[in-house]
Structure 1
Amino acid sequence: MASAFGHALLGATLGKLLLPAHPSRPWWLLAAACAVVPDADVVGFKFGVAYASLWGHRGLSHSILAAAVLATGLLLLAYLVRRRWPLAAGRVWLLLFLATISHGVLDAMTTGGLGVAFWSPFEQERYFFGFRPIQVSPIGVSRFAGAAAWRVLRSEAIWIGIPCVLLWLGQRFLTSSPRPMAS
């Protein structure tokens, strides 16, 4: 898996791209959280859940179906709390869905693990992409230290951080209004 830092950065970047206005910042934070939440499945290791099972790491929680269910559930929760739909509800749903599914996309680009069950529960096969430049992050906070952490963070800075910054800058450049010339 990529680290929580890399996942959250991509989720927040998607938020900035899809909902660029400043009042949307809470949605950016929620998108960052959605990009991290599929790794909650690692709790299963404590209960003896096999890595390769439906409920195992990179299984159902990393699927396209889980991303759609989470995005729908969060949007409905927002409606119930505020008694109205958020502005641009379709875009908010798309943001939460893409942020959540981005987790599996990044994991499928790592150098380790069993791959990602994108089509779970309908198909249990796990996939990697042909392009796998992101160093796999160790599972567990205690293992994410020292040389292992540095290796992962350096890889993510190159393969996640730089593209996110370029996307932010590109959006800023493309959406900035031209300044009138002084007479």
Structure 2
Amino acid sequence: MDTITHTLFGLTTYGMVDKREKDRPTKRALLFTALAASQAPDLDIVARVTETGRVMDQMWHRGLTHSIFVAPIWALIIYVLAYVIWRRKDRMIFYLALVNVFIHIGSDSLNAWGTGFFEPFSSMRVTIGVIPIIDLVVWTIFLGAFLIKKWSKTVQPHRIWRIAWVIVLLHVGAQAIQGMMIHEEARDQYEQTTLTASFIPGHFTVYGKEDGKIYIDDQTIWSTSSDPEIIVSEEQEDLTPLLEGNPRAEVLMAWSPFVVITTEDGVLGVYDPRFNRSGAPMLFEYVELE
């Protein structure tokens, strides 16, 4: 997810905590914890310390720091920092940190960019693709809760935020069910498949690869496009010059569910068909042909 959404996750989970019996230092420690934990896994952006990171930022980003096995370590670090600053040992501080790290990792796994969910024990990218990287529905739910909190004089704020989170989880669950139904149907048609969610709820794009062709099809559980876009991948091409001349290409091929191989415009290259900007692929690695 984007930074704004992660920040909203932190603020709203802090809002869910019943703080009526908490003193001011504890409240400050909880707020710090929620915000820090909601952002902590993305510290890999400024800590590019591996060869993979130097070769390709996206492969390094959302890797080990987004692993479910590292989540308790993040929570412990943040808990210790909160204790050093505010001298509070409230267990809620650790639990709030852990919940927010899990939310960060889980939400990133649900969109098309994926995470290294099981690193270092597996390099597989968990890329479910059932929610967009910026989910405007989530923003709308939190905005509605904020307005209700501002105007309501009778309902406790933590109850409002808890109800908002129930609605968010119902939305994510509905997206997941619809997306997985569409994905399962696509698996019966293609050798390889992947899924991305649209900004419009219930709308998805299916990418299927079969016999060197990539089929791109916009779908809902009620409808499908009658004429999917088809991209031909030149699978017969020898990629040795590309892999020797551009090590980022090998990383991209390992990171993506599948790639398109192209020799257009005098280059030998590979790109991920899911990500485009102004009609051009965002993740495209190539070498010029002689």
TM-score (norm 2): 0.42
Measured against aligned partners, the alpha-carbon deviations of 1:100-124 in whole angstroms (never above 9, x if no partner) come to 22112221222x32x2122222222
Contact in 1 for aligned 2:29/2:86 (Cα 8 Å): no
Counterparts of 1:81 and 1:25, CA distance in 2: 10
Q: Secondary structure at the match of 1:132?
A: coil
Match of residue 35 from structure 1: 38
Which residue identity does 1:107 align to in structure 2? D
Name the stretch that deviates more: 42-51 or 120-129.
Answer: 42-51
Counterparts of 1:79 and 1:25, CA distance in 2: 11
Which residue identity does 2:131 align to in structure 1? P
Shift of 1:92: 1.3
Shift of 1:20: 4.0
Which residue identity does 2:136 align to in structure 1? A
Match of residue 80 from structure 2: 76
Shift of 1:127: 1.1
Counterparts of 2:91 and 2:29, CA distance in 1: 16
Percent identity between matched residues is 23
Counterparts of 1:79 and 1:105, CA distance in 2: 26
Match of residue 148 from structure 1: none
Superposition pairs of residues 166-181 of structure 1, within 5 angstroms: 172=156, 175=159
Match of residue 136 from structure 2: 157
Shift of 1:59: 0.8
Q: Which has the higher contact order (CA 8 A, sep 6+)?
A: 1
From the two aligned structures, give the one with the greater strand fraction: 2
Q: Which runs of 5+ in 1 are unaligned?
A: 137-151, 177-183
Shift of 1:10: 0.7
RMSD value over aligned CA atoms? 3.3
Which residue identity does 1:157 align to in structure 2? L
Which residue identity does 2:109 align to in structure 1? A
Counterparts of 1:73 and 1:45, CA distance in 2: 20
Which residue identity does 1:63 align to in structure 2? S
Match of residue 48 from structure 1: 54
Match of residue 60 from structure 1: 64
Shift of 1:70: 1.5
Match of residue 7 from structure 1: 6
Counterparts of 2:86 and 2:158, CA distance in 1: 33
TM-score (norm 1): 0.63
Shift of 1:61: 0.7
Which residue identity does 1:132 align to in structure 2? V
1:109 aligned onto 2:110? yes
Contact in 1 for aligned 2:10/2:37 (Cα 8 Å): yes
Shift of 1:82: 4.3
Q: Which runs of 5+ in 2 are unaligned?
A: 150-154, 161-290
Pick from 131, 134, 142: which aligns with 1:133?
A: 131
From the two aligned structures, give the one with the greater helix fraction: 1
Match of residue 118 from structure 2: 119
Aligned length: 147
Q: Secondary structure at the match of 2:62?
A: coil
Counterparts of 1:3 and 1:172, CA distance in 2: 29
Point out the structure with max Rg over C-alpha: 2
Residues 52 and 173 (structure 1 numbering): CA distance in 2 closer, same or farther, change over 3 Å? Answer: closer
